[in-house]
């Protein structure tokens, strides 16, 4: 729950729409029903769709921490635990290799992340379709987004549509420069990126917040006009 802010973070208030600049004007094409393609070192590739409705619903309340140092506190996410999706749908049907620890998740806007399977199976990792009592908006990742609050915002992928399970890294390329994506990106250890220490990245990233928030807001406003 909401407590003291982690090292280097400040409270920005309302959660802005945010990300790498190249994703500001990319939006999902499919926002109504979630559809996730499962692949990699699996016995059977499958597509998950209506099966989500049969799973138990879960709620988590957690602070959200972007690597650029803004945090938005006490977000209430509702959806289905990644763990439940893995154990009840993926494992029995796709049968990933027992050693497939390297997980790559992709999104409709072209963004992607990787996380170790063990991190995704924690009790606070959710595939969310509701935020603060409302259906998840497109800005915040509809139809389905990953929420893994122990990890910096960039691991919390919006618009997810693909999950691949691999025994070995198949040559994964981050959405960003390599130094910007840590394999785990845990907030508690200030794992902001590779190579450079967390405290140094704070200073490098902080000036990017205002222009990025503006860029993403402008793209959303343009999008709203286009849809009308
Ligand atoms: N598909 C996708 N997921 C994404 C991003 C993105 O640009 N595209 N940005 C990431 C970053 S850097 C952050 S901080 C959070 C921001 O989430 P929000 O836009 O809901 O505030 O989403 C993460 N997930
Ligand atoms: Mo971020």
Q: Residue 5 pLDDT > 90, yes or no?
A: yes
Comparison of pLDDT for 120 and 227, the residue scoring more:
120
> Does the beta carbon of 96 lie inside 6 Å of ligand 1?
no
The torsion angles phi and psi of 154, rounded to 5 degrees, stand at: -65, -20
Q: 10-15+28-227 falls under which CATH superfamily?
A: Oxidoreductase, molybdopterin-binding domain (3.90.420.10)
pLDDT tens figures, 190-208: 999 999 999 999 999 999 9
Output the residue whose Cα is nearest ligand 1's atom 21.
17
> Does the beta carbon of 70 lie inside 6 Å of ligand 1?
no
Q: Residue 162 pLDDT > 90, yes or no?
A: yes
Q: Is 54 left (phi over 0), alpha (psi -120 to 50) or beta?
A: alpha
Q: Is 122 left (phi over 0), alpha (psi -120 to 50) or beta?
A: beta
Section 202-221 average pLDDT: 97
Q: Name the pLDDT band for 3 (thresholds 50, 70, 90).
A: low
Q: Name the pLDDT band for 163 (thresholds 50, 70, 90).
A: very high
> Does the beta carbon of 106 lie inside 6 Å of ligand 1?
no
Section 6-33 average pLDDT: 95
pLDDT at residue 50 in the model: 86
Domains of the chain, by residue range, sit at 10-15+28-227
Atom of ligand 1 nearest to the CA of 108: 1
Distance CA(106)–CA(40), nearest Å, equals 13
Instruction: Give the pTM.
Output: 0.96
Atom of ligand 1 nearest to the CA of 70: 14
3-state secondary structure of 186: strand
pLDDT at residue 23 in the model: 96
> Does the beta carbon of 16 lie inside 6 Å of ligand 1?
yes
Q: Which ligand is nearest to the CA of 216?
A: 1
Section 161-189 average pLDDT: 95
Residue list, CB under 5 A from ion ligand 2: 66-67, 153-154
Is residue 172 within 8 Å of 164, Cβ to Cβ? no
Ligand 1, from 62, 154, 216, 223: best to mutate by most atoms within 8 Å of Cβ? 154
Distance of CA 107 to the CA centre of its chain: 9
Atom of ligand 1 nearest to the CA of 20: 7
Give percent above pLDDT 90 in the chain: 91
pLDDT at residue 1 in the model: 47
Comparison of pLDDT for 224 and 1, the residue scoring more:
224
Q: How far apart are the CA of 222 and the centre of ligand 2, in A?
A: 22
Q: Name the pLDDT band for 24 (thresholds 50, 70, 90).
A: very high
Largest CA distance in the chain: 48
pLDDT tens figures, 25-84: 999 998 889 999 999 999 999 999 989 999 999 999 999 999 999 999 999 999 999 999
């Amino acid at each position: 729950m909401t407590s003291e802010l982690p090292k280097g973070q400040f409270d920005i208030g309302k959660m802005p729409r945010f990300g790498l600049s190249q994703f500001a004007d990319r939006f999902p094409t499919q926002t109504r029903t979630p559809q996730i393609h499962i692949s990699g070192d699996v016995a059977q590739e499958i597509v998950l769709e209506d099966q989500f409705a049969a799973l138990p619903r879960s709620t988590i309340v957690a602070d959200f921490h972007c690597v650029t140092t803004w945090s938005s506190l006490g977000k209430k996410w509702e959806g289905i635990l990644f763990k439940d999706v893995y154990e009840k749908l993926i494992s029995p049907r796709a049968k990933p290799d027992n050693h497939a620890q390297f997980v790559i998740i992709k999104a409709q806007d072209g963004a992607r992340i990787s996380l170790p399977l063990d991190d995704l199976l924690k009790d606070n990792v959710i595939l969310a379709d509701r935020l603060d009592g409302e259906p998840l908006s497109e800005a915040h990742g509809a139809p389905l987004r990953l929420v893994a609050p122990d990890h910096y915002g960039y691991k919390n992928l919006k618009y997810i549509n693909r999950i691949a399970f691999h025994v070995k890294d198949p040559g994964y390329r981050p959405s960003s420069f390599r130094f910007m994506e840590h394999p785990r990106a845990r907030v508690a250890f200030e794992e902001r990126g590779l190579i450079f220490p967390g405290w140094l990245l704070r200073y490098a990233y902080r000036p990017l917040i205002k222009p990025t928030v503006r860029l993403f807001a402008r793209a959303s406003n343009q999008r709203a006009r286009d849809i009308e």
